[in-house]
Homo-oligomer: A and B are copies of this chain.
Amino acid sequence: MTNKRKFDPATRRAGETLASSTYASLRRDIIDGAIPAGSQLRVRHLGERYGVGFSPIREALNRLARDGLVRQVDLRGFTVTPLNRAELEEITRTRCWLNELALRKSIERGDAAWEEGIVIAFHRLSRISVSAPVNGSEGDSNAISRFNPENDTAHRAFHASLISACGSSWLLGFCEQMFDQSDRYRRLAKPSVRQGRQHDEHRLIMEATIARDVDKAVDLMNRHLLRTAELGYMALGEAMSPAQAVAAAMSSLEAVPAER
- Chain A residues proximal to chain B, CB less than 8 Å: 15-17, 20, 55, 58-59, 62-63, 65-66, 74-75, 90-91, 93-94, 97-98, 101, 105, 167-171, 174, 177-178
Whether B63 and A94, one on each chain, are in contact in the complex, defined by CB atoms closer than 8 angstroms, is: no
Residue of B nearest to A61 (CB): B62
- Chain B nearest CB from A96 CB (Å) reads 10
**Chain B contacts for A65, CB-based, 8 A:** 63, 66
When chains A and B are docked, how far (Å) is the Cα of A98 from the Cα of B172? 12
- Chain B nearest CB from A133 CB (Å) reads 32
Residue of B nearest to A93 (CB): B168
Whether A170 and B62, one on each chain, are in contact in the complex, defined by CB atoms closer than 8 angstroms, is: no
Residue of B nearest to A16 (CB): B74
Whether A170 and B74, one on each chain, are in contact in the complex, defined by CB atoms closer than 8 angstroms, is: no
Whether A15 and B75, one on each chain, are in contact in the complex, defined by CB atoms closer than 8 angstroms, is: yes
Whether B167 and A90, one on each chain, are in contact in the complex, defined by CB atoms closer than 8 angstroms, is: yes
When chains A and B are docked, how far (Å) is the Cα of A93 from the Cα of B167? 9
- Chain B nearest CB from A43 CB (Å) reads 12
When chains A and B are docked, how far (Å) is the Cα of A174 from the Cα of B170? 9
**Chain B contacts for A17, CB-based, 8 A:** 74-75
Q: Which of B58, B98, B167, B170 contacts A59 (CB 8 A)?
A: B58
When chains A and B are docked, how far (Å) is the Cα of A20 from the Cα of B101? 35
Residue of B nearest to A97 (CB): B101
- Chain B nearest CB from A245 CB (Å) reads 22
When chains A and B are docked, how far (Å) is the Cα of A187 from the Cα of B85? 41
**Chain B contacts for A15, CB-based, 8 A:** 74-75
**Chain B contacts for A75, CB-based, 8 A:** 15, 17
When chains A and B are docked, how far (Å) is the Cα of A225 from the Cα of B161? 29
Q: List 18 A-B contacts (CB under 8 A).
A: A55-B58, A62-B62, A62-B63, A62-B66, A63-B65, A90-B167, A90-B169, A91-B170, A93-B167, A94-B168, A94-B170, A94-B171, A97-B101, A97-B168, A97-B171, A98-B101, A101-B101, A170-B177
With a 10 A CB-CB cut-off, give which of A75, A170, A171 has the most chain B CB atoms: A170
**Chain B contacts for A178, CB-based, 8 A:** 170
**Chain B contacts for A91, CB-based, 8 A:** 170
When chains A and B are docked, how far (Å) is the Cα of A62 from the Cα of B55? 12
When chains A and B are docked, how far (Å) is the Cα of A141 from the Cα of B69? 44
